[in-house]
Amino acid sequence: MPTNTIEGYTFAVNDEGFFTDRTQWSEPLASVLAELVGIEHLTEKHWAPLHFMRDDAAKTGVTPTLRRMQAVGGFDVKDLFALFPGKPAKKMAYLAGLPKPVGCV
Protein backbone atom coordinates (compact mmCIF):
# COMPACT_ATOMS: atom_id res chain seq x y z
CA MET A 1 0.00 0.00 0.00
CA PRO A 2 1.50 3.37 -0.95
CA THR A 3 2.00 6.10 1.62
CA ASN A 4 2.23 9.87 1.48
CA THR A 5 4.42 11.98 3.73
CA ILE A 6 3.58 15.67 3.94
CA GLU A 7 5.13 18.03 6.46
CA GLY A 8 6.04 15.15 8.75
CA TYR A 9 2.66 13.40 8.51
CA THR A 10 2.72 9.91 6.98
CA PHE A 11 -0.49 8.18 5.94
CA ALA A 12 -1.52 5.21 3.79
CA VAL A 13 -3.32 6.03 0.54
CA ASN A 14 -4.87 4.24 -2.40
CA ASP A 15 -3.81 4.75 -6.02
CA GLU A 16 -5.90 7.97 -6.18
CA GLY A 17 -4.35 9.46 -3.04
CA PHE A 18 -7.31 8.91 -0.70
CA PHE A 19 -6.74 7.64 2.85
CA THR A 20 -7.00 3.91 3.43
CA ASP A 21 -6.69 4.17 7.23
CA ARG A 22 -8.96 6.79 8.78
CA THR A 23 -7.07 6.55 12.09
CA GLN A 24 -4.07 8.29 10.51
CA TRP A 25 -6.10 11.50 10.06
CA SER A 26 -5.87 14.57 12.29
CA GLU A 27 -7.16 18.13 12.14
CA PRO A 28 -3.66 19.58 11.74
CA LEU A 29 -3.06 17.22 8.81
CA ALA A 30 -6.40 18.26 7.27
CA SER A 31 -5.29 21.88 7.45
CA VAL A 32 -2.09 21.03 5.57
CA LEU A 33 -4.04 19.04 2.96
CA ALA A 34 -6.52 21.90 2.53
CA GLU A 35 -3.76 24.15 1.24
CA LEU A 36 -2.85 21.47 -1.33
CA VAL A 37 -6.39 21.53 -2.73
CA GLY A 38 -6.61 25.31 -2.85
CA ILE A 39 -8.29 26.12 0.48
CA GLU A 40 -6.12 28.57 2.41
CA HIS A 41 -7.74 28.24 5.81
CA LEU A 42 -10.34 25.83 7.19
CA THR A 43 -13.05 27.71 9.06
CA GLU A 44 -15.84 26.39 11.29
CA LYS A 45 -18.02 26.30 8.16
CA HIS A 46 -15.48 23.87 6.63
CA TRP A 47 -15.06 21.78 9.77
CA ALA A 48 -18.79 21.09 10.24
CA PRO A 49 -19.21 19.00 7.05
CA LEU A 50 -15.81 17.35 7.53
CA HIS A 51 -16.73 16.20 11.03
CA PHE A 52 -20.16 15.08 9.84
CA MET A 53 -18.50 13.01 7.11
CA ARG A 54 -16.17 11.33 9.60
CA ASP A 55 -18.95 10.62 12.09
CA ASP A 56 -21.32 9.35 9.40
CA ALA A 57 -18.65 7.14 7.82
CA ALA A 58 -17.82 5.68 11.24
CA LYS A 59 -21.49 4.72 11.67
CA THR A 60 -22.25 3.50 8.14
CA GLY A 61 -18.87 2.25 6.95
CA VAL A 62 -19.01 4.33 3.76
CA THR A 63 -18.10 7.89 2.87
CA PRO A 64 -21.28 9.98 2.53
CA THR A 65 -22.22 11.39 -0.85
CA LEU A 66 -23.36 14.98 -1.45
CA ARG A 67 -26.94 13.75 -1.46
CA ARG A 68 -26.49 12.20 1.99
CA MET A 69 -24.69 15.32 3.22
CA GLN A 70 -27.82 17.27 2.30
CA ALA A 71 -30.51 14.77 3.33
CA VAL A 72 -29.01 13.51 6.59
CA GLY A 73 -26.48 16.19 7.50
CA GLY A 74 -28.67 19.15 6.58
CA PHE A 75 -25.95 20.85 4.54
CA ASP A 76 -26.90 23.00 1.58
CA VAL A 77 -25.18 21.67 -1.55
CA LYS A 78 -24.63 25.20 -2.89
CA ASP A 79 -22.80 26.07 0.34
CA LEU A 80 -20.62 22.97 0.00
CA PHE A 81 -19.70 23.95 -3.57
CA ALA A 82 -18.77 27.43 -2.29
CA LEU A 83 -16.66 26.03 0.57
CA PHE A 84 -15.02 23.25 -1.46
CA PRO A 85 -14.99 24.53 -5.08
CA GLY A 86 -14.86 22.16 -8.01
CA LYS A 87 -15.57 18.69 -6.69
CA PRO A 88 -16.79 19.15 -3.12
CA ALA A 89 -17.49 15.50 -2.28
CA LYS A 90 -14.00 14.41 -3.34
CA LYS A 91 -12.31 17.34 -1.61
CA MET A 92 -14.26 16.84 1.60
CA ALA A 93 -13.52 13.10 1.66
CA TYR A 94 -9.82 13.76 1.08
CA LEU A 95 -9.69 16.40 3.79
CA ALA A 96 -11.69 14.21 6.19
CA GLY A 97 -9.27 11.32 5.73
CA LEU A 98 -11.83 9.06 4.07
CA PRO A 99 -12.08 7.05 0.85
CA LYS A 100 -13.59 8.72 -2.20
CA PRO A 101 -17.40 8.54 -2.07
CA VAL A 102 -19.03 5.88 -4.23
CA GLY A 103 -20.13 7.35 -7.54
CA CYS A 104 -17.46 10.08 -7.69
CA VAL A 105 -15.37 10.08 -10.84
Q: Which of 13, 37, 48, 104 is catalytic?
A: 104
Could you give the CA distance from residue 60 to residue 41 in angstroms, rounded to a whole number?
29
For the question of residue 104 being annotated catalytic, the response is: yes
Q: How many residues comprise the chain?
A: 105
Could you give the CA distance from residue 19 to residue 45 in angstroms, rounded to a whole number?
22
Note whether 46 and 34 are within 8 A (CB).
yes
What is the set of active-site residues?
104
